[in-house]
Amino acid sequence: MQHPFRAIGLLFACLYLLPILASTALYLLRGGGHLDWRSADRSSMHLLPPAARMSGAVVRIFSARTVSWRGIVATHSWIVIKEANARSYERFDYVAWGGPIWKDRYLPDGRWFGSNPEVIFAADGMQAARMLPRIRSTIRDYRYARPGDYKIWPGPNSNTFVAAIMQSVAMRAALPPTAVGKDFPYEGRWIGLTPSRTGVRLNLCGYFGITLGWYEGLELNLLGAVAGLDLRRPAIKLPGLGRLGVPLYSRADLQSDTEQAMSGQQRRLGS
């Protein structure tokens, strides 16, 4: 009888404890323990072209390691949108300070207190325009919008907020495994569709759960730490370390998508 328990213990150590310890070591090697968040870099990563050059609508989901030691295991997510012909982007964050939904407090593609963001989802033109009404209504009617509603763990937090928006429009994407709080049941249901609506999710108040979906892959949530597999774009998902494998987006992908969107706009204007 000892062998099954030993195997379970070894599996738990490999999937949860060792990745978090490795992430802790990386954090210390990078000097994270000495970072002053007040002077941390929040400059643009230039992942978005100037809004004036994009006549079409835009939707982006970004995620970056969160502030201080919490970045060992967690990331912060936010959404950026732009209406067609608008001259500026709009950024929405869900934070722990004051009224939790903040608009345009930070640069749209800025570093999150020194951490470089990655693109989780990108849509331009008509695809983005079709999403915008539902995105705006989800932000406006978000049920956890009062001061004090934010809970760092297990949620609702920034990742819960973005996951709710993603589900409202069935975005074909998934937040990283380090997006602690993404599995918090913001609708109050313990079973339901995944945010991409391509699978199902069983959830116990964000503390425990299992997710199986085409875009989410297979994920096991244990006290907010997520381990799993992505089969669509092959990768291993580990707590702390995040997603190891084929990237969701590269700079080349984004540049190509943006150039295609801009060339399409120019052709329409020329006609």
Per-residue pLDDT reduced to its tens digit, 3-17: 777 888 888 888 899
pLDDT > 70 in the chain, percent: 89
Of 234, 255, 18, 242, the C-alpha closest to 116 is: 242
Q: Beta 58-65 vs 75-82: how paired, if at all?
A: antiparallel
pTM of the model: 0.90
The confidence score (pLDDT) of residue 234 equals: 95
Per-residue pLDDT reduced to its tens digit, 99-153: 899 999 999 999 999 899 999 999 999 999 999 999 999 999 999 999 999 999 9
Indicate the burial class of 18 (C-beta count within 10 angstroms; 0-12, 13-18, 19 or more): middle
Structure tokens at 265: 């706009």
CA separation for the pair 206, 157 (Å, rounded): 11
Per-residue pLDDT reduced to its tens digit, 87-98: 999 999 999 988
CA separation for the pair 225, 237 (Å, rounded): 10
Structure tokens at 83: 């209406």
More confident residue, 4 or 203: 203
Per-residue pLDDT reduced to its tens digit, 28-85: 888 776 667 777 889 999 999 999 998 999 999 999 999 889 999 999 999 999 999 9
